[in-house]
Amino acid sequence: MKGFFGSYNHGTFLTASAASSLSTASIMLALLLFGFDLFWIALAVFAMIDAAIQRKLTFSLTAWGLIFPPGTANTALIAFAGNMDSPAFRVVAAGLFLILLVVYFANWVFTLLNLPSLLFQTTAKELARNRRREHAPQRVAEEEATEQHQEEEEDESKES
């Protein structure tokens, strides 16, 4: 692909003499945009780590959006490796591709694990209660009775 612009050589702007400077400017712009991509990936990772520390990280189908940024970065790295003949970009592209595969398969695992709640709009609280009901049915029944009693008391206090 490299060198086709100079061989075109038509018009006032697309000349052979402009090819090398436009090639350099295009590579610099591509590296700048790749840097923005890496910035957004880092921002997403730090936001997820922060949510996980605060125990607010839950799975939803929006997690599939995590595939796009590393995918575009990996595509850019592969293009850079080919155009610049850079072994460093090839190694980083391979590493990022492995990370992309891990995220992809993790999304599949979490999607399949949460399939009942995704299909039937079951809340996470209801799923947790159902799991506890399997292991400790007596305790869950007592908790439900306590919650129902508290709700009745709240309703009575609102009516008064």
Q: Which residues does 88 contact at the CB level (< 8 Å), separation at least 6? A: none
Q: Which two tokens stand for residue 19?
A: 């090819």
Average pLDDT over residues 19-32: 85
Amino acid at 109: V
pLDDT tens digit string along 75-120? 989 988 988 888 999 999 999 999 899 989 998 998 888 887 777 7
SS3 160: coil
Q: Which two tokens stand for residue 102?
A: 């891990």
SS3 32: helix
pLDDT in the model for residue 5: 62
User: Structural domain boundaries of the chain?
Assistant: 31-122
Amino acid at 91: V
Q: What is the pTM of this model?
A: 0.59
